[in-house]
Structure 1
Amino acid sequence: MVTAMKPLSHFSTLLFTLVLSACSPSPAIDTVESLAANPERLKALRLQCKLERAKLGDELCNRVAEATNRRFLGDRKTTDTPPKDPAKF
């Protein structure tokens, strides 16, 4: 009985190892902040989104657009305030 269990144990260990090795880590998700900080990657992704948006997906291309806006417009943390001295006409 013990000898019959040994091959099954080895098989299940091998199967478990294969399943774990097949699971690769998910690709790194580009955040808006990381894209805004890396202009080369942002430029490459902007071009890819123009050419193959369906392949890359709307989520990534929307992040690329937001990162482009942040680089162009800034992070918008300041508010527009009127000048202390109003203009005299």
Structure 2
Amino acid sequence: MLLMLAATLTACGPSQPSESVDTLVANPDRIKEIQRQCKEDRSKVGDELCLRAAEAANRRFFGDRPEKKSK
């Protein structure tokens, strides 16, 4: 029972602070750092943060252009 409690508490450790896409857009050096980490070990960084960094890089490159709608 004690071992199960210890395992449960270990799993509830502090999580990394979440960075929004908007925050990353304002910090291109952080985007590059996250992208590097994602290439090295995506499972350690997490899919969500990797996707946010990719979206931030796209926004920096393409700007805030409205999407074209197909006819």
Q: Which structure exhibits the higher relative contact order, with contacts defined as CA atoms closer than 8 Å and separated by 6 or more residues? A: 2
Taking structure 1 as the reference length, what is the TM-score of the superposition?
Answer: 0.55
Q: Distance in 1 between matches of 2:63 and 2:40?
A: 26
Q: Larger Cα Rg: Structure 1 or Structure 2?
A: 1
Moved over 3 A (4+): 24-27
Structure 2 unpaired stretches of 5+:
1-12
Q: Distance in 2 between matches of 1:36 and 1:27?
A: 19
Aligned to 2:52: 63
Structure 1 unpaired stretches of 5+:
1-23, 80-89
The count of residues paired between Structure 1 and Structure 2 equals 57
Identity of aligned residues (%): 54
CA distance 1:74–1:46, change in 2 (3 Å) = same
Aligned to 1:73: 62
